[in-house]
Structure 1
Amino acid sequence: MKNNSVSLHRVIKASPEKVFRAFADPVAHATWLPPYGFVCTVQHMDFKVGGTYNMTFINFSTGNGHSFSGTYLEIKPNEFIRYSDTFDDPNLPGEMTTTVWLTAVSCGTELKVVQEGIPAEIPVEMCYLGWQESLDKLMKLVEPEIPDA
């Protein structure tokens, strides 16, 4: 796979506002973003256009981690997010761009994600697999309707 990008599509049984909040809130983001078997720590997250973030994914089995950071390039609340990603590891060069579209549909939110510029050292199919797991975790976070106690 030489195109170095992944594209994902899901329909989520939650409002665009709730799905958007899962991207905007650092605690929520750390809950669903890492694939299965990883935990995420958020060192910094300033969710606004021009704002930056820094996170670390840690392999729960080995304790090894990799950090990455980026900039929020475009944000349209409840509709659109585009941000850059750069790994701190010099062996994973380049900058990735992730674009997220949220569209209200009759049963919730249509979510489209495109990540481009994946470093050649990362097998695209592994990146795609990781995103599938992350989106599964996102759905488990935002789809339950839990009443206030």
Structure 2
Amino acid sequence: MRELIPGERIRLADKFDDTGLVADMTKTITLRPVSCGTAIEILHEGLPAAIPAERCYLGWQESLLQLANLVEADIPGGV
């Protein structure tokens, strides 16, 4: 963990377990309140050249959808 500001920002260093994907990556996740909840911005820096940015973008979308499934309320009869 490089930085943690509760409710605002998480910044961490990351690396792949695969030795063929060597890179000094940094992920910065910024949160900010909006009228209908929380906006999230994710900046993923230092990706290895072998991983196209579009693939990383799709990976983050999938991860966020899975997170939403875990945390969103399941209200019977709700819309």
The structure with higher relative contact order (CA 8 Å, sep 6+) is 1
Q: Which runs of 4+ in 1 moved over 4 A?
A: none
Q: Alpha-carbon deviation of 1:123?
A: 2.1
| Alignment map for 1:60-71 (pairs within 5 Å) | none
Which consecutive unaligned segments of at least 5 residues does structure 1 have?
1-71
Cα RMSD of the aligned pairs, angstroms, is 1.5
Residue identity opposite 1:124 in structure 2: A
1:93 paired with 2:48, answer no
How far apart in 1 are the matches of 2:63 and 2:17? 21
Alignment match, 2:73: 144
Q: TM-score, normalised by structure 1?
A: 0.47
Q: TM-score, normalised by structure 2?
A: 0.84
How far apart in 1 are the matches of 2:17 and 2:62? 23
Residue identity opposite 1:142 in structure 2: V
How far apart in 2 are the matches of 1:122 and 1:89? 13
Higher strand share: 1
Which consecutive unaligned segments of at least 5 residues does structure 2 have?
none
